């Protein structure tokens, strides 16, 4: 990350974990912060991004890809925020207590608990993330939330029709309300998968800018580095299934797919600005997409609502 000039990262610390299991993940990160203080520290506010840039370090912002750590206790939302959590997805592919995931056949929208959870997340400064959620649930969350929400890692379905990618209707509603979309570089979300070119990826971002403007666009790489394939099994299956859930992969590709050659790890963030420039973006627009838009979103999202 240091070589790639990455000064802030949204790190997943929960997929299907309970509250206690999530706390153990924070304990592990706290050890890393202690062991590698020259490289990483916990991020809590947008000011920490600027601090990381000045100190040539990386601020680590915690996020959940599932609401499982709050269990069925709305009071845990504020406690999680106090512990440093700044993003929480309302679903991870399946139906949750809060909303419907994108792999379900029926999308019943945001639930009663979900509506109250969104209000509490808005109050404390925990970002609503709908990256793995179904269409109606995502539109509901955009409408219900009093603060702009995020889709931190997905791409437009009009570019590549993966289950996890988002419709034009969703992206119009998201960006029209001040929300953020982080474009994913995970192969299952890319046109031509691992063979996707940087030209195709950056031209997709240019098309998105024409449709929605530049201000709500960012990178949400969905990058998994140096992780065993057993992590993919935990992501997809957790403890809820006895059958292997291959997601948008296939039985022959049950593990992590190969990354595109131009984005193998965090060092390759350096390749994206040139691709965006070649796609027609001005220097200020490149800076916004590479981090400026996310920084503004952090500034407006991580603190409590004014009383």
Find the range with the poorest average confidence among 32-36, 39-43, 58-62, 241-245: 241-245
In the prediction, which pLDDT does 225 show? 86
In the prediction, which pLDDT does 253 show? 58
Cα 48 from Cα 219, distance rounded (Å): 19
| pLDDT above 90: residue 73 | yes
Given a contact cutoff of 8 angstroms between Cβ atoms, the answer to whether 89 and 132 are in contact is yes
**Which residues have CB under 8 Å from 292's CB, separation 6+?**
none
Nearest CA among 196, 13, 195, 33 for reference residue 183: 196
**Can you tell me the mean pLDDT for 79-93?**
97
Cα 115 from Cα 7, distance rounded (Å): 33
pLDDT band at 306; cut points 50, 70, 90: confident
pLDDT band at 240; cut points 50, 70, 90: confident
* Exposure of 152 in the CB half-sphere (CA atoms within 13 A): 23
| DSSP helix/strand/coil, 172 | helix
Percent of the chain with pLDDT over 70: 97
What is the overall mean pLDDT for the chain?
95
| pLDDT above 80: residue 248 | no
**Can you tell me the mean pLDDT for 273-291?**
98
Q: What is the pLDDT of residues 17-57, one digit of tens each?
A: 999 999 999 999 999 999 999 999 999 999 999 999 999 99
**Can you tell me the mean pLDDT for 108-134?**
98
Nearest CA among 101, 124, 113, 111 for reference residue 74: 113
**Can you tell me the mean pLDDT for 65-88?**
98
Q: Please, what are the domains in the chain?
A: 8-301 (3.20.20.140)
| pLDDT above 60: residue 252 | no
**Can you tell me the mean pLDDT for 150-155?**
98
pLDDT band at 276; cut points 50, 70, 90: very high
Burial class (CB in 10 A: 0-12, 13-18, 19+), 145: buried
Nearest CA among 187, 213, 191, 189 for reference residue 200: 191
């Amino acid at each position: 990350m240091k070589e790639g000039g990455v000064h802030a990262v949204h790190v997943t610390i929960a997929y299907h974990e309970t509250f206690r299991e999530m706390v153990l993940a924070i304990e592990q990160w706290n050890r890393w912060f202690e062991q590698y203080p020259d490289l990483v520290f916990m991020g809590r506010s947008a000011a920490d991004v600027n601090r990381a840039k000045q100190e040539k370090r990386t601020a680590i912002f915690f996020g959940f890809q599932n609401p499982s750590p709050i269990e069925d206790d709305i009071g845990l939302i504020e406690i999680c925020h106090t512990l440093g959590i700044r993003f929480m997805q309302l679903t991870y592919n399946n139906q949750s207590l809060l909303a419907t995931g994108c792999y379900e056949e029926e999308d019943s929208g945001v639930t009663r608990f979900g509506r109250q959870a969104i209000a509490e997340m808005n109050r404390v400064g925990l970002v609503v993330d709908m990256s793995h959620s179904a269409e109606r649930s995502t539109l509901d969350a955009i409408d219900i939330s009093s603060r702009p929400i995020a889709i931190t890692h997905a791409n437009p379905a009009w570019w590549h029709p993966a289950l996890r990618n988002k419709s034009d209707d969703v992206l119009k509603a998201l960006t029209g309300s001040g929300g953020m979309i982080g474009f994913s570089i995970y192969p299952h979300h890319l046109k031509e998968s691992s063979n996707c070119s940087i030209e195709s990826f950056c031209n997709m971002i240019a098309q998105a800018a024409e449709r929605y403007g530049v201000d709500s666009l960012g990178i949400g790489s969905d990058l998994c580095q140096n992780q065993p394939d057993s992590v993919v099994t935990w992501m997809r299956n957790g403890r809820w299934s006895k059958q292997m859930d291959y997601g948008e992969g296939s039985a022959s590709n049950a593990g992590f797919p190969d990354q595109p050659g131009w984005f193998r790890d965090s060092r390759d963030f350096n390749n994206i600005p040139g691709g965006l420039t070649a796609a027609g973006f001005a220097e200020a627009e490149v800076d916004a997409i590479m981090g400026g838009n996310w920084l503004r979103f952090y500034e407006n999202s991580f603190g409590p609502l004014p009383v």
